[in-house]
Amino acid sequence: MNLQTHNRRLSLCRNSSGRRGAVLVVALVCLLVVMAMLGAMLLGAVRAHRQLHRERDLRQTELLLQAGTDRAALRFARDPNYRGETWELPAASIANNGSGRVKIETSADAAQNSKTAKIIAEYPLGDEWSIRRSRTLQIQPPLPRE
């Protein structure tokens, strides 16, 4: 083997080694981009899941508040001396995700000859992310029947 052929072979080995390194770097960069995209998609899915749960809990709280409002109106219609109450609802009776509470507080307003009911609903009860909503009602006494 002469010197010129030997130098040519060394040159070819160096070029193919450099190409293999460049291909490896390109492959690693592509892998990094794909992993970043998958991570972003996973993060988006987790955020959407959490948002869905928050919206479900908000809707459940609003339903509990409406039930408390209906109950207060019914109780006032049946008993003018109704003083209020507190419901503790176990998780199994709601959506199996947490217990809830509905509190009805009443007060009399002598100036307007009416009663005020404040209804407070909380769900899930005692949770770090629990949602609390309230509503105040002015309830007029029923008119006497003739």
The ranges assigned to domains in the chain are 3-139
Assign residue 29 a region (left: φ > 0; alpha: ψ between -120 and 50; beta: otherwise): alpha
The model carries a pTM of 0.71
Q: What is the pLDDT of residues 18-67, one digit of tens each?
A: 677 888 999 999 999 999 999 999 999 999 999 999 999 999 999 999 99
Q: What is the pLDDT of residues 73-127, one digit of tens each?
A: 999 888 888 899 999 999 888 877 789 999 999 988 777 678 899 999 999 988 8
Q: With a cut of 60, say whether residue 7 has pLDDT above it.
A: no
Q: Would you say 117 and 103 are in contact if contact means Cβ atoms under 8 Å apart?
A: no
3-class SS of residue 47: helix
Q: Please give the pLDDT value at position 37.
A: 97
Chain centroid offset of residue 140 CA? 37
Q: Please give the pLDDT value at position 5.
A: 63
